[in-house]
Structure 1
Amino acid sequence: MIEKNKYFVLTCFLLAFTAIGFISCSSDDSSTSDEAVIEEDDTETDNDATDEDTNTVSVDASYFYTTDGSVTITTVPCTLSDGTSTDCYQIVTTSLPGDHEMGPWCPGNIEDDATAGGIWLEGGEVYDVDGAFVENMATFYNDPNWMMYDANGDIYITDTQEDCENAANPDVGEEYENFCVECLPSYITDLTQTWTIPITPVAQDSPVLFTTAGGGPGGPGITTAPSTRGVALNGIEFSAPAPVDNILGAYTLAPFDDAGGHINVHQGYHYHAATGFSTKIAQDDGHAALIGYALDGYGIYELADSSGVEATDLDELRGHSDDTRGYHYHVDAAGNNNFIDGLKGAYVN
């Protein structure tokens, strides 16, 4: 009986030892699993911090004015100027804005007030093209050859599509000297423009400066950079600076409307200045409103914030960064006939 009890005790001892060992292994496995989860959480936190540091904000297609069908947006595969393969938004527009009226451009008589004409951009200033402005062109430019009106004060204006095309030609003929060039929306009947921009911007180590900002054709050594600066939220082009010297050199005047745009039959309606007429997205923190996107996908914002204060830390491209919007641009003053001075990101060739 004692012998049986000895074996029984020994058996219980062995079973208990085995059970303890099993429980200990299970506990180690559980501990290892918990540590792995914590490490993964730490890794995710690090990734989030990296995203905040780079803070790249993607294009928001819902901000575009598409209500009237003048703008359509689709997602397409694309290759950027640095070779990156990615997704882009393809923005197709009818070349006429759906969110504001166009014109007028040229006043009819030297007695007309500012409501009859558009604006002119000169020397950093915005001037109303009213009758008095046209009457005083010779004084304004210190050149007696300016005389854009007849004995009745009626201003010479291109009044047909053919005249519009001829007067907007770089080799404009002498017969159009002292004409106010006005191309009308009715001349644009079957013209679309297509813009393709990366959904998520891809920053480059070396930005591209536009020619007007001191670069070569799109920057030193670069010949494929677009001349277009970006796309407004109504789908209209933010164009390169208007060639005012060429326009004036031919003794013509091609005013912009109060929205900063005018028409040629090849581009349709396009902007040369931001004056606050097109669709904008107000910012909750009072920052300047979003008005479009550059061709590299970075946002383009108005010049001043809701209090009228302009940013003072812009780089050579007219851009800077903040925690909410990431890197973005601010347009130049309207009188400078300019939007931004270059592209920080890669673009579609």
Structure 2
Amino acid sequence: MSVTAIGLSACGINNDKNTTETEAIIIDNTSPNTTTTTVIEVDPFNFEGGALVSAITTQLCTLSNGDETSCYKIEIAGAPANHEIGTFCPNTITSNADEAGIWFDGNGEVYDITGDFILNLPALYNDSHWQLYDESTGQVNITNTYASCDGAARPNVEEQYQNHCVECSIEYVNGGISQSFLIPITPVTANQANSVGRSNIGIALNGVVLAAPAPVDAILSAYTIAAFDDCAGHINLNEGYHYHGEAGCSQTQAQSDGHAAMVGYAFDGFGIFAMLGSNNTEPTDLDECRGHYGDTRGYHYHAASVSENMFIGCYKGETAQ
């Protein structure tokens, strides 16, 4: 089959906002029954002002199937350009939902980390070893120093920081960790879906990493709660601030036709959109990767609910190596 790709590419593009839509139309020139499939290219103008720390450039890259193609090199700031980083841990066992963040463990629930939540941990996880507060003062055990962040915000939590609510300050990483990523300009559908593994899966349009599922089993086994803010993000010293779920804060590109808002791009170049559209319903035809095809947006993903501790189920396309 002979195909023709028509689209836009960019070199040295800055991060000023622009509403230009970029797409490639793949046309079968040989079949008598010509079919057209819309493939939406990565649009560098979708990123929020302040989300990037340098101009987007293009370079040759090798995909996971061994093919060479053109990629955007995108360097994100590592801190959200459109919202403040919120609170994480409650200070006392009387704190309410407005005074702390959230927790989710992939079991279908999102919990406000209130004082009552801290008190109820032994019952929630059916283990009497949970004790995240000082009984004499009601103060919650919080990792509130660089050293305690370093010892607790990791899968192998240091013993002295067990039974703590884990939070780290963005100041520990100088306001954010910038990272560069290669994303194919024109997505290439893989012959079979590829696992997302335990690595980051994409980037939000506001300059934040979309991370792999949080290692909740390791966290809970150390009797810690690695608190998220209300945007489903938290901080460690290796990744800085990153999201583990789509809680609405990364929905920066509203869609005029009522489709779910755009969140970012997966590393295979396909767009990631929110779970729900303006009618407050989730698409019913999503595949195992949480994606489907549409005439306007081509193949694209819809993020899972925050309670599922994930964004997408797998990669539909080839990623840059």
- TM-score interval, normalised by the smaller of the two chains: 0.7 to 0.9
Question: CA offsets, 1:72-96, max 9 Å, x none?
Answer: 4222222211222222111112221
- Asked if 1:346 is matched to 2:295, the reply is no
CA RMSD of the aligned region, Å?
Answer: 2.2
Alignment match, 1:268:
240
CA gap of 1:66–1:90, structure 2 versus 1, over 3 A, is farther
- Asked if 1:180 is matched to 2:180, the reply is no
Give the alignment partner of residue 201 of structure 2, picking from 229, 234, 253. 229
Give the alignment partner of residue 128 of structure 2, picking from 124, 129, 144. 144
Give the alignment partner of residue 59 of structure 1, picking from 30, 42, 49. 42
CA gap of 1:319–1:283, structure 2 versus 1, over 3 A, is same
Give the alignment partner of residue 182 of structure 2, picking from 188, 196, 204. 196
TM-score, normalised relative to structure 1: 0.79
Task: Considering fraction of residues, name the structure with more helix.
Answer: 1
Alignment match, 2:259:
287
Between the aligned partners of 2:225 and 2:207, the Cα distance in structure 1 is 26
Task: Considering fraction of residues, name the structure with more strand.
Answer: 2
- Asked if 1:332 is matched to 2:304, the reply is yes
Between the aligned partners of 1:281 and 1:68, the Cα distance in structure 2 is 14
Q: Structure 1 residue 283: deviation in Å?
A: 1.4
Decide whether the 8 Å contact of 2:206 with 2:252 is kept in 1.
no
- Asked if 1:310 is matched to 2:282, the reply is yes
Alignment match, 1:250:
222
Between the aligned partners of 1:192 and 1:67, the Cα distance in structure 2 is 12
Give the alignment partner of residue 127 of structure 1, picking from 100, 111, 124. 111
Q: Structure 1 residue 133: deviation in Å?
A: 0.8
* Displaced runs of 4 or more, over 4 A: 44-47, 49-52, 68-72
Decide whether the 8 Å contact of 1:283 with 1:289 is kept in 2.
yes
Between the aligned partners of 1:46 and 1:340, the Cα distance in structure 2 is 30
Q: Structure 1 residue 279: deviation in Å?
A: 4.4
Between the aligned partners of 1:250 and 1:136, the Cα distance in structure 2 is 17
Decide whether the 8 Å contact of 1:209 with 1:317 is kept in 2.
no
Residue 162 of structure 1 aligns to which amino acid in structure 2?
A
Between the aligned partners of 2:270 and 2:232, the Cα distance in structure 1 is 22
Alignment match, 1:8:
none
Between the aligned partners of 1:295 and 1:68, the Cα distance in structure 2 is 17
Residue 95 of structure 1 aligns to which amino acid in structure 2?
G
Decide whether the 8 Å contact of 2:262 with 2:273 is kept in 1.
yes
Q: Structure 1 residue 320: deviation in Å?
A: 0.4
Q: Structure 1 residue 307: deviation in Å?
A: 1.0
Moved more, 134-143 or 302-311: 134-143
Q: Secondary structure at the match of 2:218?
A: helix
**Structure 2: which 5+ runs fail to align?**
1-25
Residue 165 of structure 1 aligns to which amino acid in structure 2?
D
Alignment match, 2:5:
none
TM-score, normalised relative to structure 2: 0.86
Between the aligned partners of 2:149 and 2:42, the Cα distance in structure 1 is 36
Alignment match, 2:19:
none
Matched residue count = 292
Moved more, 292-301 or 80-89: 80-89
CA gap of 1:46–1:95, structure 2 versus 1, over 3 A, is closer
